[in-house]
Amino acid sequence: MTEAAWRALDRAVGDFRRAEQLWLAAEMAKAELGSTWQEREAAKRQVRVRLKALRAEGKLLGTKELLVAAGLRLALEARGWDREWDPVPDGARDRGRPLGDYRAKHDESHEEGETEYPRLVNARLPIALAQRAVRSTYWTSAEWVARIREWDSQWLAEDSPPVPLEAWADRRRFQMRVVTVGDLMREAVGQAVSEVPRSIPGMIATVTPLEAAREAKGDDVPAGG
Tens of pLDDT, residue by residue over 16-32, are: 999 999 999 999 999 99
Write a three-state SS string for 127-145. HHHHHHHHHHHHHHHHHHH
In a domain, residue 127? The reply is: yes
pTM: 0.79
Domain count, the chain: 1
Q: What is the mean pLDDT of the chain?
A: 83
The domain containing residue 14 runs over which residues? 3-217
Is 45 among the domain residues?
A: yes
- Residues 114-167 have pLDDT tens digits of 445 667 778 899 999 999 999 999 999 999 999 999 999 999 988 888 999 999
Over the stretch 181-201, which tens digit does the pLDDT of each residue have? 999 999 999 999 988 866 666
Return the C-alpha torsion angle 204, 206, 208, 211, nearest 10.
Answer: -70
Residue 222 scores a pLDDT above 50 = no
Q: Is residue 53 part of a domain?
A: yes
**Of the candidates 63, 24, 58, the residue with the CA atom closest to the CA atom of residue 44:** 24
pLDDT at residue 76, rounded to an integer? 98
